Amino acid sequence: MTMSRSSALCLGVAVLLFSAGAASAKPLFGPDPAVRVAVPSVSSQAQLADTLRAQGYSDIRLSAVPADPDNPHPELNRTLTNNPENTPVRTGWNGVAVKDGRTVQIYATRKPVG
């Protein structure tokens, strides 16, 4: 039994998509789990990490720069994570942490004044 070229191509694409989903152990579509933390405007990432630890998070990896398509995981670069006491918390993405065995994305929002 022979397989047409288009059938073989479809099968190959299906195998690649299945493999990518199995390797990452998370769905191909849908948002990553996230936690949003309201912080004062003067907070450092060290203070943010302390807040997260108090809420039960561990393996906290915060980055001095936001993630982008050219650098999707800056939290893995030690030169971008080695000075949390002097790194201000940014509004938006700041890194990742683990809670209950799940890695979550950390987003900061500003507390309202007053």
Q: What pLDDT score was predicted for residue 12?
A: 46
Q: What pLDDT score was predicted for residue 32?
A: 72
Average pLDDT over residues 1-8: 54
- Is 19 a domain residue? no
- Is 85 a domain residue? yes
- Is 82 a domain residue? yes
Q: Look at residue 86 and give its three-state secondary structure.
A: helix
Question: What confidence tens digit (pLDDT) does each residue in 35-88 have?
Answer: 898 888 768 999 999 999 999 999 999 999 999 999 999 999 998 888 999 999
- Is 8 a domain residue? no
- Is 3 a domain residue? no
- Is 10 a domain residue? no
- Is 20 a domain residue? no
What is the C-alpha to C-alpha distance for residues 67 and 73, in angstroms, rounded to an integer?
6
HSE, CB side, 13 Å, CA atoms: give it for residue 37. Answer: 28
Helix H segments across the chain? 5-24, 45-54
Range of the domain at 45: 34-110
